[in-house]
A = this chain, B = another copy of it.
C-alpha cells in the first residue's frame, strides 16, 4: 500500500542501531547496553543485530566513534564564531549551563570509565576541550602557564558539575539560584 511514508516497519541500518545505542546510553548508562533490550526497543530481535554488528562491543565502539565525531562541534563550533575573545568564555559558560541535553551522553560515559573502550574516547574529547579552553583563556589575556591551569580547573568544574547536579540529584537547585551559580563561576574563573 504505502511505499515509505513512515519510518516505521522499515529495514534497519547500522546507523539506526548506533543512534539508538547512544540514546540508551544517555538514558540508562553504558551498562544497560544489551542487544536484546535494544532490539525490543527497535521492534526487532537479536537476529537483526548480529547481521549489522559482529559483537556487542563492536556496537559500542561504533556508537562512541559516532558520538566523538558528530557530537563534538555542537557547542564549540558556535562559540568559535564569536568575534570578541573576551565574550567567548562567558558565552560558553552560559550556553553549556543551559543546554544540558547534549551533555547527557558525556555524563553517562563519565560513569563508564571502567570500560576499556570509553577511556580513550573520553581522554581525547577531554583533551581537545581543555585545549580549547586553554587558547580561549590565552586570548582573554592570561599568560600561557596560568591559562593552562585555569583551563584544567574550569573543565574539572564542568565535569564535577555534571556528576553532582546531573547524575546525582543534589538538593535540586532551582533556576534563579542556578543562574546565580553560573554567574559566580564566570566571575571567579574568567579574568576581568
Contact = CB atoms under 8 A, between A and B. Distances in A.
A68 B170 CA distance: 17
A100 interface: no
A127 B164 CA distance: 10
Contact of A153 (B29, B110, B112, B184): B184
A145 interface: yes
A167 interface: yes
Contacts of A112: 111
A160 interface: yes
Interface in A18-33: 28-29, 31-32
B111 A149 contact: no
A122 B146 CA distance: 32
Given A122-B168, A155-B164, A170-B127, A150 B184 contact: yes
